[in-house]
Amino acid sequence: MNSKSENRMRALRDELEADLDPELIPADDSNLYSATVAGTSGSDVILELGPRVQGACPLDEFDEPPENGKGVHVALRGREEGLWLFSAREAKALAAWDNMDIGSHIKGRVIAVIKGGLELRIGPLRGFLPASQVALHHVEDLTTYGEQELVCKVIEVDRDNKRVVVSRRAVLETERTEFREAAMGQFIEGGVRRGKVARMESYGAFVELGGGIEGLLHVSNLSHRRVDHPSEILKIGQEVEVQILSIEEGGKRIGLGRKQLEVDPWEDAIERFHEDKVVSGTVRRIANFGAFVELEPGLEGLLHVSQIGAGRINHASEVVKPGDEVSVRILTFDQHSKRISLSRMDPRGALLGSEEAAASEDVDEVLGKQQTLGTNLGDLFKKALDNKA
CA distance 166 to 122: 10
Q: Is residue 320 part of a domain?
A: yes
Please tell me the pTM assigned to this model: 0.47
Same domain, 204 and 248: yes
- Using pLDDT thresholds of 50, 70 and 90, give the confidence band for residue 380: very low
Measure the CA–CA gap between 110 and 151, rounded to whole angstroms.
11
Residues 125 and 196 in one domain: no
From CA 268, how far away is CA 229, in angstroms rounded? 28
More confident of the two residues 213 and 316: 316
Q: Which residues pair with 334 in a beta bridge?
A: 339
Domain contains 388: no
Q: Which residue has the higher pLDDT, 384 or 314?
A: 314
pLDDT of 373: 47
Residues 162 and 143 in one domain: yes
Among 67, 95, 123, the domain-final residue is 95
Residues 193 and 151 in one domain: no
Indicate whether 359 belongs to any domain. Answer: no
> Residue 6 pLDDT more than 60?
yes
Q: pLDDT (tens digit, 9 = 90+) per residue, 19-68?
A: 888 878 876 667 788 899 999 999 999 999 988 889 999 999 998 889 99
Q: How many Å from the N-terminal Cα to the C-terminal Cα in the chain?
A: 133
Looking at 129, 152, 172, the residue that finishes a domain is 172
In a domain, 367, yes or no: no
Q: Is residue 20 part of a domain?
A: yes
Number of separate domains in the chain: 4
**Is the separation of the CB atoms in 216 and 256 below 8 Å?**
yes
19, part of any domain: yes
Nearest to 280 by CA among 324, 224, 337: 324
Distance separating alpha carbons of residues 306 and 371, to the nearest angstrom = 33
Q: Which helix (H) or strand (E) holds 43?
A: none
pLDDT at 140 over 60: yes
Secondary structure of 235-291 in the HEC alphabet?
CCCCEEEEEEEEEEHHHCEEEEECHHHCCCCCCCHHHCCCCCCEEEEEEEEEECCEE
Structure-derived torsion over alpha carbons of residues 304, 309, 314, 320, reported in degrees to the nearest 10: -80
Domain boundary among 63, 95, 127: 95
Tens of pLDDT, residue by residue over 190-229, are 999 999 999 999 999 999 987 668 899 999 999 888 888 9
Query: What single-letter amino acid sits at 99?
Result: N
Q: State residue 378's pLDDT score.
A: 53
CATH of the domain at 214: 2.40.50.140
Structural domain containing residue 32: 3-95
The DSSP output letter for 66 is P
Distance CA 94, CA 58 (A): 17
287 forms bridges with which residues in the sheet? 290
In our burial notation (b when 16+ CB lie closer than 10 A, e otherwise), range 329-366 reads bbbebeeeeeebbbbbbbeeebbbeeebbeebeeeeee
